[in-house]
Structure 1
Amino acid sequence: MEKQNNLSENQTLITKTTVPTLPEIKPSETKALAAKTSVTKTPVTKTPVTKTPITKTPVTKTPVTKRRETKLSVAKPFAQRGLMVSYTNLYLEARLRYNELLSIKNSKEAALDKAPPGKIHVSKTSHGVQYYLRNESTEKSGKYIHKSEKTLITKYLQKSYDEKILKLVTVESASLKKLLFKTENVITTIQNVYSDSPTEVKELIIPIDISDEDYSQKWLNIPYEGKVIPDYLPFFETKRKERVRSKSELNIANALADKEIPYKYECPLRLSNGAIIYPDFTVLDVKRRRVMYWEHRGMMDDKEYAKNSVQRLKTMMGEGIFVGEKLIITEETSTSPLGTNEINAIIKKFFS
Structure 2
Amino acid sequence: MYRLKEMLLQEQKHLEAILAKTSNNNSSTPEGRLRISMNHGNVRYYNCTNGRDGDYIPKENELLPRQLAQKTYNDSILKAAEAHKKLIDGFLKDYKENEIEELFTSLHPERQKLITPVEPTYAQLEQKWYSEPYIGKEFNEGTPVIISEKGERVRSKSEKILADYFYRNNILYKYEKPLTLAGYGTVYPDFTFFSKKLKKEIYWEHEGMMDNPEYATAAIKKLNNYQMNGILPGERLILTFETEKDVLNTKIVTNLVNKYLR
* Matching residue's letter, 1:102: E
Deviation per CA, 1:139-176: give whole Å up to 9, x if none: 55555333444344333322221111101221222123
Query: Which shows bigger deviation, 188-197 or 200-209?
Result: 200-209
Matched, 1:157 2:69: yes
- Relative distance call for 1:234 and 1:269 in structure 2 (3 A) is closer
Matches within 5 A, 1:176-195: 176-182=88-94, 184-185=95-96, 189-195=99-105
Deviation, 1:316, is 5.5
Q: Which runs of at least 4 in structure 1 moved beyond 6 Å after TM superposition?
A: 223-227, 232-235, 335-352
Matched, 1:170 2:79: no
Give the structure 1 partner of residue 43 of structure 2.
Answer: 129
Distance in 1 (CA, whole Å) between partners of 2:102 and 2:15 is: 31
Deviation per CA, 1:255-287: give whole Å up to 9, x if none: x9xxx9x855663413469x9965344455433
Give the structure 1 partner of residue 116 of structure 2.
Answer: 205
Q: Conserved in 2, the CA contact under 8 Å of 1:265 and 1:280?
A: no
Q: Kindly, what percent of the aligned residue pairs are identical?
A: 25
Q: Which has the larger radius of gyration?
A: 1
State the secondary structure of the residue aligned to 2:16: helix
State the secondary structure of the residue aligned to 2:79: helix
Give the structure 2 partner of residue 104 of structure 1.
Answer: 18
* Matching residue's letter, 1:119: G
* Matching residue's letter, 1:103: A
Where structure 2 has 5 or more consecutive residues not aligned to the other structure, the ranges are: 138-143, 150-155
TM-score by length of 2: 0.60
Matched, 1:118 2:61: no
Deviation per CA, 1:109-129: give whole Å up to 9, x if none: 23223x333234222222433
TM-score by length of 1: 0.48
State the secondary structure of the residue aligned to 2:175: coil
Pairing partner for 2:216 from 306, 312, 316: 306
- Relative distance call for 1:314 and 1:201 in structure 2 (3 A) is farther
Q: Conserved in 2, the CA contact under 8 Å of 1:323 and 1:329?
A: no
State the secondary structure of the residue aligned to 1:192: helix
- Relative distance call for 1:196 and 1:158 in structure 2 (3 A) is same
Q: Conserved in 2, the CA contact under 8 Å of 1:190 and 1:209?
A: no
Give the structure 1 partner of residue 153 of structure 2.
Answer: none
The structure with the largest helix share of the pair is 1
Deviation, 1:302, is 1.1
Deviation per CA, 1:52-84: give whole Å up to 9, x if none: xxxxxxxxxxxxxxxxxxxxxxxxxxxxxxxxx
Q: Conserved in 1, the CA contact under 8 Å of 2:37 and 2:43?
A: yes
Distance in 1 (CA, whole Å) between partners of 2:244 and 2:99 is: 52
Matches within 5 A, 1:221-236: 222=130
Query: Which shows bigger deviation, 99-108 or 162-171?
Result: 99-108
- Relative distance call for 1:123 and 1:340 in structure 2 (3 A) is farther
Deviation, 1:193, is 1.9
State the secondary structure of the residue aligned to 1:305: helix
Distance in 2 (CA, whole Å) between partners of 1:309 and 1:91 is: 34
State the secondary structure of the residue aligned to 2:34: strand
The Cα RMSD (Å) is 5.1
Matched, 1:322 2:225: no
